[in-house]
């Protein structure tokens, strides 16, 4: 199942990398994030806007998607952030396997504790639609999702 993700990962990276021509050079240009339970590679095409490709895997569930994050306010060392994420979800358990889509909106905070490192946490509702491969039985619903991550910024200054 993991080998099927290589084209998805390369395709998502291919969507983000050409955007580097838009960078204005006043902020960080790139970011890498270790999140629970995966990683992200991101780019800042405009001040206060990050675009990230995310890849996660946990107990038979694989997620690959795109995430946009906007920096809303800057009270002290914190940044208030909001954004949206769209993902492709694949799952495999003992007797079921399938795939589907997820879409999330979120609100959170980022704390630049030791530049260029930051901690980020956000929370939001995600609409998830999955379908079993064999039975074609669909399942859809809304779940609350918490994201936690450690970010490393490439370049000059924080968000």
CATH of the domain at 69: 2.40.128
Instruction: Report yes or no on 50 lying in a domain.
Output: yes
134 lies in some domain = no
pLDDT digits (tens, 9 = 90+) for 55-65: 999 999 999 99
The long-range contacts involving 50-53, CB below 8 angstroms and separated by at least 24 positions, are 50/83, 50/159, 51/16, 51/19, 52/16, 53/9, 53/12, 53/13, 53/15, 53/16
* Domain contains 117: yes
Query: d(Cα 53, Cα 136) in Å, to the nearest integer?
Result: 28
Question: Could you tell me if residue 96 is inside a domain?
Answer: no
- In total, how many domains does the chain have? 1
Report the pLDDT value the prediction gives residue 75, as an integer from 0 to 100. Answer: 83
Report the pLDDT value the prediction gives residue 157, as an integer from 0 to 100.
53
Residue 27 placed within a domain: yes
**Per residue in 118-127, pLDDT tens?**
999 999 999 9
In a domain, 38, yes or no: yes
Domain ranges, residue 26: 2-84+107-123+148-154
pTM value? Answer: 0.78
């Amino acid at each position: 199942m993991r080998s099927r993700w290589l084209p998805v990962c390369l395709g998502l990276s291919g969507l983000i990398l050409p955007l580097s021509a838009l960078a204005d050079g006043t902020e960080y240009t790139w970011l890498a994030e270790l999140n629970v339970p995966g990683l992200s590679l991101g780019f800042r095409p405009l001040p206060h806007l990050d675009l990230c490709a995310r890849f996660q895997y946990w107990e038979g569930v694989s997620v690959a998607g795109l995430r946009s994050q906007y920096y809303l306010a800057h009270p002290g060392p914190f940044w208030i952030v909001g954004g949206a994420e769209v993902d492709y979800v694949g799952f495999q358990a003992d007797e079921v396997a399938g795939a589907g889509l997820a879409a999330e909106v979120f609100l959170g905070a980022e704390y630049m504790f030791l530049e260029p490192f930051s901690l980020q946490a956000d929370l939001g509702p995600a609409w998830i639609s999955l379908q079993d491969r064999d039975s074609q039985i669909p399942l859809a619903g809304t779940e609350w999702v918490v994201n936690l991550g450690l970010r490393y910024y490439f370049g000059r200054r924080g968000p």
